[in-house]
Amino acid sequence: MRIGELAERAGVTPRTIRYYESLGLLGPSEREGAGFRYYTEAELSRLQTIHNLKGLGLSLEEISTVIPLYFEDPTRLSGKRKIVEILKSHLHETDEKIEALNQFRSELQANISRIQQWIDEHSESQ
Amino acid sequence: MRIGELAERAGVTPRTIRYYESLGLLGPSEREGAGFRYYTEAELSRLQTIHNLKGLGLSLEEISTVIPLYFEDPTRLSGKRKIVEILKSHLHETDEKIEALNQFRSELQANISRIQQWIDEHSESQ
DNA sequence: TCAAAACATAACGTTAACGTAAAGGTTTTA
DNA sequence: TAAAACCTTTACGTTAACGTTATGTTTTGA
Band of pLDDT at residue B10, cut at 50, 70 and 90: very high
Range picked from A63-67, A99-103, B8-12, B26-30 for highest mean pLDDT:
B8-12
pLDDT at A60 over 90: yes
Residue B12: what pLDDT? 96
Chain B residues 11-30, Cβ below 7 A from strand C: 12-13, 15-16, 19
**Is the CB of A37 within 7 Å of strand C?**
yes
Mean pLDDT, to the nearest integer, of B32-52?
91
**Is the CB of B34 within 7 Å of strand C?**
yes
pLDDT digits 0-9 by tens, B53-71: 888 788 999 899 888 887 8
Residue bearing the bigger pLDDT, B37 or B31: B37
Return the CATH number at B57.
1.10.1660.10
Q: A-chain residues within 8 Å CB-CB of B117?
A: none
pLDDT digits 0-9 by tens, A47-58: 999 988 888 788
Residue bearing the bigger pLDDT, A11 or A69: A11
Mean pLDDT of chain A: 88
Q: Choose the closest CB to B88 out of A77, A112, A118.
A: A112
Residue A105: what pLDDT? 86
- Pick from A52, A51, A25, A30: which is nearest to A40 by CA? A30
Say how many domains are in chain B.
1
pLDDT at A124 over 80: no
B100 touches A: beta carbon within 8 Å: no
CB B115 within 8 A of CB A86: no
Domain that holds residue A33: 3-122
Residue B4: what pLDDT? 97
Q: Could you give the percent of chain B with pLDDT greater than 90? A: 48
Q: A-chain residues within 8 Å CB-CB of B101?
A: 94, 97-98, 101
B84 touches A: beta carbon within 8 Å: yes
Cβ neighbourhood burial of A51 (10 Å; 0-12, 13-18, 19+) = middle
Beta-carbon separation of A94 and B75 below 8 A: no
Q: B-chain residues within 8 Å CB-CB of A98?
A: 98, 101-102, 105
